[in-house]
Amino acid sequence: MATNLIKIMWQTVLLWLVFRLGVFVVGALHLSLPGNVAGMLLMFALLASGLVKPACIEAASGFLLKHFAFFFIPISVGLMSFGSLMRQSGLALLAILLLSALAGAAVTGVSVQVLQRRRER
């Protein structure tokens, strides 16, 4: 139990460092890209190149995914203070959220299929 907790902590630190590196790169290069997206692209590049093995982040990423809904509670509570904005632009925001979620799921699905095919060869 304790060794698993330590593994999760170190892997979370690795994920956080990649995130911070993404934020740093965006700031240093003045990119019009969110730092967390740059961090995800960096992590993808590290995984695709083999510099980081999936086992190096498996425990922490599994833990974070297992508790994913918990991280949306502060966001949901914060949205309650934007009631007038939701009444005014709620449908447009909902459409944008749905389209971006569908695009993200599609890109993820295609990426997983491509990587699976590459692994099977």
Distance CA 97, CA 100 (A): 5
pLDDT of 38 reads 94
Q: What is the mean pLDDT of the chain?
A: 90
Host domain of residue 55: 1-66
5 shares its domain with 45 = yes
pTM exceeding 0.85: no
**71 belongs to a structural domain:** no
* Domain count within the chain: 2
**50 belongs to a structural domain:** yes
Q: How far is CA 1 from CA 13, 66, 72, 115, in A?
A: 19, 17, 27, 32
Helix 58-66 crosses helix 2-29 at what angle (to 10 degrees)?
A: 90
51 shares its domain with 91 = no
Residues of the chain under the 70 pLDDT cut: none
Q: Kindly give, in sequence order, each residue whose CB lies less than 8 Å from that of residue 121, ignoring residues fewer than 6 positions away.
A: none
